[in-house]
């Protein structure tokens, strides 16, 4: 007998739960792509996208997932033979470095210890040693979704300036945008990118690159820029087709418009606060489970934990057995141990986007049931500990 009938919770770190209002907004016939509502709606997204990233500069929209944004960003500011520095706090930094490699850009990896954030002092030292200025950009992942490590982008930007180096700071905010505090201009970030299926609560298919004046100048210095990825026509479009270099992602635009309205209505501070509470509820539960068993958070220092996703170690294949049980028995899908070795010893809880207190309590209660069902040793009081965090709000 299973208990899976009911509203499922896909508690993975993207795609995230899609609000009913977003789904409803997308349920319509194809709109006119040449004039009228869709044109105005698309233009109206630009200020909201700048708002959510904390920038007064430019944003280019793309049809594509996060990998598209990675390629778009690199294609505008780099040429084959250029070098980039990639601080590694998890698998996503390596994936982005691999995209650079595919474009003929040499990625110099700097790997930080497991569960630790980017150390700005080490980045500063590497840049100081690069007296010839060969490193054109630092590609940093704000929240690495494989480990749940969140690094401090303001510190990183200060380190680049302290080194007196010209490298652009480019930040992957795919997991963090609309979840963890991020302010591109205030943090001194030259380029940020994200996609719509995580904190922005829209089905996968759109992504964004925000860029400031230093990144714009780097684009203008390139001998050539790929026609499709070129952000220039996209930020100064004369007609709708130029926003996307072809047909607009019609239904995604309606969905994203509604998602942005929801975020605006809640307010960014409140959105960030909600994610922090959800994250602390998860941490409190895992600490309590771990007190009587082998379960542990992958990031020891709470200051460097993502508020959007929590990665958890549960050895001896416990993590995989727990994922299977929760999915097959109670309709709760947990995130896999992506990029981890061994994969079956890690799981992740996505608490990004459209997630509220009762969903969080349900996910944690579901995991509690799984630990009991599977006879995995664990401490008591985890659900109580989470409830106290939620109760305090």
Ligand X SMILES: *Cc1c(COP(=O)(O)O)cnc(C)c1O
Positive or negative, the CA dihedral 98, 100, 105, 107 is: negative
Residue 178 touching ligand X (CB under 6 A): no
Residue from the set 59, 60, 78, 92 that interacts with ligand X by CB under 6 A? 92
Rounded CA separation 349/114 (Å): 18
Under rule CB under 6 A, how many of the chain's residues touch ligand X? Answer: 12
| Whole-number Cα distances in Å, 331 to 312, 313, 354 | 20, 22, 18
Residues in 340-359 at the binding interface with ligand X, rule: CB under 6 A: none
Q: How far is the CB of 205 from ligand X (least distance, A)?
A: 9
- Of the listed pieces 48-56, 172-180, 183-191, 341-349, which binds ligand X according to CB under 6 A? 172-180
Residue from the set 55, 65, 157, 306 that interacts with ligand X by CB under 6 A? 65
Rounded CA separation 393/46 (Å): 32
- Of the listed pieces 60-68, 238-246, 261-269, 317-325, which binds ligand X according to CB under 6 A? 60-68
Residue 175 touching ligand X (CB under 6 A): yes
Rounded CA separation 135/123 (Å): 11
Residue 172 touching ligand X (CB under 6 A): yes
Residue 338 touching ligand X (CB under 6 A): no
Residue 180 touching ligand X (CB under 6 A): no
Site string for ligand X, 184-213 (x = CB under 6 A): -----------x--------x---------
Question: 8: which residues sit within 8 A by CB, 6+ positions away?
Answer: 331, 332, 333
Cβ closer to ligand X: 73 or 297? 73
Residue 174 touching ligand X (CB under 6 A): yes
Residue from the set 14, 117, 148, 199 that interacts with ligand X by CB under 6 A? 14
Residue 67 touching ligand X (CB under 6 A): yes
Residue from the set 141, 184, 279, 284 that interacts with ligand X by CB under 6 A? 141
Residues in 145-164 at the binding interface with ligand X, rule: CB under 6 A: 145
Cβ closer to ligand X: 237 or 353? 353
Q: How far is the CB of 76 from ligand X (least distance, A)?
A: 18
- Of the listed pieces 73-81, 170-178, 262-270, 293-301, which binds ligand X according to CB under 6 A? 170-178
Q: Closest-CB residue for ligand X?
A: 66
Cβ closer to ligand X: 100 or 195? 195
Residue 248 touching ligand X (CB under 6 A): no
Cβ closer to ligand X: 206 or 240? 206
- Of the listed pieces 30-38, 62-70, 102-110, 216-224, which binds ligand X according to CB under 6 A? 62-70
Cβ closer to ligand X: 67 or 214? 67
Residue 330 touching ligand X (CB under 6 A): no
Rounded CA separation 385/287 (Å): 9
Residues of this chain that interact with ligand X (CB under 6 A) are: 14, 65-67, 92, 141, 145, 172, 174-175, 195, 204
């Amino acid at each position: 007998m299973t208990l899976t009938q009911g509203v499922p919770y896909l508690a993975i770190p993207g795609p995230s739960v899609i609000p009913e209002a977003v789904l409803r907004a997308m349920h319509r016939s194809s709109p006119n792509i040449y004039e009228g509502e869709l044109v105005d709606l698309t233009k109206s997204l630009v200020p909201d996208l700048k708002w959510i990233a904390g920038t007064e500069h430019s944003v280019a929209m793309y049809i594509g997932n996060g990998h598209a944004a990675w390629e778009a960003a690199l294609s505008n500011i780099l040429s084959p033979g250029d070098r980039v520095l990639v601080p590694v706090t998890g698998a996503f930094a390596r994936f982005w470095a691999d995209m650079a490699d595919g474009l003929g850009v040499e990625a110099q990896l700097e790997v930080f210890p497991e569960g630790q954030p980017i150390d700005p002092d080490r980045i500063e030292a590497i840049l100081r040693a690069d007296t010839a200025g060969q490193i054109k950009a630092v590609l940093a992942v704000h929240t690495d979704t494989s480990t749940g490590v969140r690094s401090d982008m303001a510190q990183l930007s200060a380190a680049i300036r302290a080194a007196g180096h010209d490298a652009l700071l480019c930040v992957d905010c795919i997991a963090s945008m609309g979840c963890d505090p991020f302010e591109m201009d205030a943090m001194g970030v030259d380029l940020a990118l994200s996609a719509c299926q995580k904190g922005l609560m829209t089905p996968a298919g759109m992504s964004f690159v925000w860029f400031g004046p230093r990144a714009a100048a780097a684009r203008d210095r390139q001998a050539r820029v790929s026609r499709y990825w070129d952000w220039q026509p996209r930020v100064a479009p004369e007609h709708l087709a130029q926003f996307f270099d072809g047909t607009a992602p019609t239904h995604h635009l309606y969905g994203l418009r509604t998602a942005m309205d929801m975020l605006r209505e809640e307010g960014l501070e409140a959105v960030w606060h909600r994610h922090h509470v959800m994250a602390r509820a998860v941490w409190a539960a895992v600490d309590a489970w771990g007190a009587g068993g082998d379960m542990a958070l992958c990031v020891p220092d709470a200051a460097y934990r993502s508020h959007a996703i929590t990665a958890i170690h549960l050895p001896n294949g416990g993590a995989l057995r727990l994922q299977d049980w929760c999915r097959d028995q109670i309709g709760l899908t947990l995130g896999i141990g992506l990029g981890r070795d061994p994969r079956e010893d890690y799981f992740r809880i996505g608490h990004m986007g459209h997630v509220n207190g009762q969903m969080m309590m349900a996910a944690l209660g579901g995991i509690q049931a799984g630990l009991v069902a599977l006879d995995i040793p664990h401490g008591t009081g985890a659900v109580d500990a989470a409830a106290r965090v939620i109760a305090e709000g």
